[in-house]
Structure 1
Amino acid sequence: MASVVPTPHENPETPVEREVRLARGRAFIAEGLADIAAGRFIEGEEAVRWLEAEIAEAEDASR
């Protein structure tokens, strides 16, 4: 997976892009915490499959 820290030869994200990324991350964390608080969670292989799908979706979105 690519590093989220830009190297000197990469174009760093703009302040607006950064805020959008951080807001998306905050929303994702809030959703996860709400699910845990409500007793909604998955374990084992189901969790691994879900995480792999989330990673693939994020990688596709970044292209």
Structure 2
Amino acid sequence: MTIGRERHRIFKALLPQRLGVIKISLMTARVQFFLIFFLLQGLRAASRRSASRLPRFIS
């Protein structure tokens, strides 16, 4: 019983930190998603303008 109580106390102490880490990781994931989304939109627009200009645009 004492081990279970100790583990529970440690978990309670670490829970706020874990939630903060999850929040931060979710925010960074959202930022990465938006960056990738805008990049893909830009690539699509560039390829739509002209296929011959696309290789020069990438390199």
Structure with higher RCO (Cα < 8 A, 6+ apart): 2
Q: Which is greater in Rg?
A: 2
Give TM-score, length-normalised by structure 1.
0.46
Q: Which has the higher helix share?
A: 2
Give TM-score, length-normalised by structure 2.
0.49
